[in-house]
């Protein structure tokens, strides 16, 4: 009796792979590794370029100092380097001068003294300080250095933006936005109000603290007076690009009035973001008035729901930011003391403020109004002198003493 014939039916490989979870994970893993390799390659190239420019600036300075060369050496170097590398960019005379200026600025005694204050382990050892600055500079693209150099910042803000750009991965646009909004000055303001140290692990708490500002500049909204919360939210969404630049690097917009459903009730988060560097959802609650303690309880509730319902595997705990017109630090401290989720409270500014030296020296709008109101309400005083008053000198038709009197109109009836 012949053996039974077994037929093996093979499915097309494409259909098997298309619905395979293993294949989807495999592709996602490869994409992540390729993207990571690309980012790493770009960073390494940027670092090598910055280190090369550091060495060029240093060598020009040292040869001028040791051999007594004048400024003409830069022009000669630019000519010879462009002849040797005709397709390369960045070796013009102005570029070489910029490298020299940049090196001199970052190795100046004032800048090294600032580095020593922030790196105590290298204090009193100039060669180690200079090496620390060189390594720090290598972590920031050359274009960032040029932007900071052109701003003419002092040692303290220069070092602040340099460290922040290296640590947080700021783009050049974000760096310029942070400088324009005075991120360094905000960092010197009274301590930021949050509970990150209690609610997050040490390293994550530091990163979250860097991502949160004590106040946010929303002058770009162009609001000229009081505003409702919904209007403020709508303006922020319309100017979303500017708002994200003000928030800082790493924020990705998820949605506005983000819906959370619990049983038969639904709740809405004003603005929801995802922070790429923190790997966490960031909920923002907008308030047009001063901070109230109940705001923290509402935010804590939102974060509990986000963590349970929407946080992805591998993400860190969600973070809440309450943006309000003003806050009292003591009230915030007591309100956040019992909260288990990381919550920060920050202020926002809708209108420009006067520089520090001018505050209190110019009259306020109310003072100006009080001073001008009597003058505006009083009837004009008649002129006591028939002649014209200075400075019109009798040549202005708008000045009442100088305006010629209207000629009397002749009546046809009387002339007849």
> Phi/psi of residue 370, each to 5°?
-65, -35
Stretch (H or E) spanning 266? strand 265-275
Q: How many helices (H) and strands (E) does the chain have?
A: 18, 7
| Cβ proximity of 221 and 239 under 8 Å | yes
pLDDT of residue 123: 61
**For 354, which DSSP code?**
-
pLDDT of residue 228: 72
pLDDT of residue 268: 93
Tokens 């940049």 map to which residue? 102
Q: Give the integer Cα–Cα distance in Å for 158 and 393.
A: 57
Domain 193-354, classified CATH 3.40.1350.10, yes or no: yes
pLDDT of residue 386: 45
Q: Enumerate the H helices of 259-313 as residue ranges.
A: 294-309
What is the three-class DSSP state of 186? helix
Q: Give the integer Cα–Cα distance in Å for 318 and 314.
A: 12
Tokens 């052109």 map to which residue? 150
CA 188, 326, 293 angle in degrees (round to 5)?
110
Residues of the chain with CATH 3.40.1350.10: 193-354
Say if pTM beats, i.e. exceeds, 0.85. Answer: no
Ramachandran class of 191: left when φ > 0, alpha when ψ lies in -120 to 50, beta otherwise: beta
Question: pLDDT tens-digit profile of 1-37?
Answer: 555 555 454 555 555 565 677 777 888 888 888 888 8
All residues at 6 or more sequence positions from 220 whose CB lies less than 8 Å from its CB, including other chains: 239, 242, 246
Question: pLDDT tens-digit profile of 369-400?
Answer: 555 555 545 554 544 444 444 444 444 444 44
Q: Name the nearest CA neighbour of 404 among 386, 391, 416.
A: 386
Q: Give the integer Cα–Cα distance in Å for 179 and 158.
A: 10
| pLDDT by 10s per residue, the chain, length 416 | 555 555 454 555 555 565 677 777 888 888 888 888 887 888 788 889 999 999 999 999 999 999 988 989 999 999 999 999 888 888 999 999 999 999 999 999 999 888 888 776 656 566 678 888 998 899 999 999 999 999 989 999 999 999 888 887 888 888 888 888 777 877 666 555 676 777 777 767 776 776 666 566 666 665 555 667 777 777 777 776 777 777 777 888 888 899 999 888 999 998 899 988 888 999 999 888 888 999 999 999 999 999 999 998 889 999 999 988 888 888 888 888 888 899 988 887 665 454 444 445 445 445 545 555 555 455 545 444 444 444 444 444 444 444 454 454 444 444 43
Residue 82 neighbours by CB distance under 10 Å: 15
Q: Compute the half-sphere exposure of residue 141: CA atoms within 13 Å on the CB side of its CA.
A: 15
Ramachandran class of 263: left when φ > 0, alpha when ψ lies in -120 to 50, beta otherwise: left
């Amino acid at each position: 009796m012949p053996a039974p014939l077994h037929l093996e039916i093979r499915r097309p490989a494409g259909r098997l792979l298309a619905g395979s979870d293993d294949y989807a994970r495999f592709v996602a893993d490869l994409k992540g590794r390729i993207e990571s390799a690309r980012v790493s390659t770009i960073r390494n190239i940027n670092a090598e370029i910055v280190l090369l420019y550091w060495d060029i600036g240093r060598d020009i300075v040292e040869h001028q100092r040791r051999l007594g060369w004048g400024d003409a050496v830069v022009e000669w170097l630019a000519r010879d380097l462009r002849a040797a590398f005709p397709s390369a960019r960045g070796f013009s005379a102005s570029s070489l001068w910029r490298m020299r200026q940049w090196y001199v600025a970052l190795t100046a005694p004032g800048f090294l003294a600032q580095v020593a204050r922030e790196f105590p382990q290298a204090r009193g050892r100039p060669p180690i300080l200079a090496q620390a600055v060189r390594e720090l500079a290598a972590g920031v693209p050359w274009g960032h250095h040029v932007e900071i150099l052109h701003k003419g910042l002092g040692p303290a803000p220069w070092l602040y933006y340099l460290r922040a750009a290296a640590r947080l991965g700021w783009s050049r646009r974000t760096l310029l936005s942070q400088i324009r909004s005075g991120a360094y000055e905000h960092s010197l303001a009274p301590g930021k109000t949050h509970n990150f140290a209690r609610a997050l692990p040490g390293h994550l708490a530091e990163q979250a603290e860097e991502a949160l500002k004590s106040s946010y500049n929303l002058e770009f909204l162009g609001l000229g007076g009081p505003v409702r919360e919904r209007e403020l939210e709508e303006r922020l969404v319309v100017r979303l690009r500017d708002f994200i630049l003000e928030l800082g690097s790493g924020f990705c917009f998820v949605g506005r009035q983000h819906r959370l459903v619990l049983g038969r009730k639904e709740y809405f988060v004003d603005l929801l973001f995802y922070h790429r560097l923190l790997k966490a959802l960031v909920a923002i609650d907008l308030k047009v008035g001063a901070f109230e303690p109940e705001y923290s309880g509402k935010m804590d509730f939102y974060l509990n729901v986000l963590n349970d319902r929407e946080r992805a595997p591998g993400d860190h705990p969600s973070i809440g930011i309450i943006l309000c017109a003003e806050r009292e630090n003591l009230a915030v401290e007591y309100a956040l003391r019992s909260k288990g989720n990381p919550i920060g409270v920050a202020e926002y500014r809708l209108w420009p403020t006067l520089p520090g030296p001018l505050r209190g020296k110019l009259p306020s709008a109310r003072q100006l109004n009080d001073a001008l109101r009597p003058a505006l309400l009083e009837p004009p005083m008649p002129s006591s002198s028939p002649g014209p008053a200075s400075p019109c000198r009798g040549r202005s038709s708008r000045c009442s003493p100088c305006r010629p009197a209207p000629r009397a109109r002749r009546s046809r009836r009387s002339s007849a």
